[in-house]
Amino acid sequence: MQFWSDKQVIVTGGAGFLGSFVVEKLRELGVEEIIVPRSSEYDLRQPDAVRRLFDDAEKNRPAGFKSSNLIVFHLAAKVGGIGANRSNPGKFIYDNLMMGMSLIEEARHRDMGKFVTVGTVCSYPKFTPVPFKEDNLWDGYPEETNAPYGLAKKMLLVQSQAYRQQYDMNAIFLLPVNLYGPRDNFDLESSHVIPALIRKCIEAKEMNKEQVIVWGDGSPTREFLYVEDAADGIIRAAELYNKPEPVNLGTAFEISIKDLVELIANLTGFAGKIVWDTSRPNGQPRRMLEASRALQEFGFKAKTTFEDGLHKTIEYYRDNR
């Protein structure tokens, strides 16, 4: 808390799924000056809007705070599941690239403390050896359905490292695995797998449907990180990590989509049939991160068990849909 007591913080995406938990935890740590730019006021794809954001932060800086007290968390992103990525590859690469590039470029002109970029597991090559190690990041092309999004985020790693080298900018880059938890997006047109399955199973049970249709064949594996654990890891990294190398944030727990569907069906009480739509894509064959660097560098280890996290997510959806 002593580290955060005199900090001013910008959290892009701070009103979103992950960002809202980061903001809450920063407040718990005593941060009073938190700026959450909203898209209606600041279009972060536009350099002029980004410049205005930093100017407004400077105007609102408390007396006695230095510009080096400013930390930026860049969490804002255009995201979605396989369907959304397939339908919007141009928008996903443009919006994510322009937001990040504009923010990092403007930040390097300011005498600020640190810039924290949150990337994505989608940046890894399609056939990365499991568990994914940070050194494997450049060993191939990402899975095609989300490659534009993954590559846009990976370019922000390149920019962060280049700016550290040329401008001595303290920019770090984190690679969280798939997130889940309360406040997730449960819109079936754009949601990721866990919220989509929770909604499908609960609605099927309530409407007495005999089956739930799931994309693919169930063979891919995924790793999932509970959103509050992710927020803890991001804040720990902001406080303690100051190196150019990217860092994975994960749990080292892998589950097949088939087993995931059966677990969510059981937890939601859906007892009907699971129908696999094999005309739909599976996505990347396997995903699981090697998470030892985060433990070694800033002591991060996920605390929430997968089943506990699912219980909390299901409860949230039932209470808030």
- Residue positions annotated with a catalytic role: 149
Q: Which residues contact 181 (CB under 8 A, 6 or more apart)?
A: 17, 21, 226, 227, 228, 309, 312, 313, 316
- Using the structure block, give the residue that is written with the tokens 């992950």: 18
Q: Which DSSP string corresponds to 284-315?
A: SS---B--HHHHHHH-----S-HHHHHHHHHH
Alpha-carbon distance of 285 to 219, in angstroms, equals 8
Beta bridge partners of 275: 213
Alpha-carbon distances, residue 189 vs 2, 151, 183, 263 (angstroms): 43, 22, 16, 22
3-state SS assignment for residue 61 = coil
- CB burial of residue 180 (10 Å; 0-12, 13-18, 19+): buried
User: What are 9's two structure tokens?
Assistant: 């913080």
User: What are 305's two structure tokens?
Assistant: 């068990």
Q: Which residues contact 259 (CB under 8 A, 6 or more apart)?
A: none
- Using the structure block, give the residue that is written with the tokens 């846009």: 152
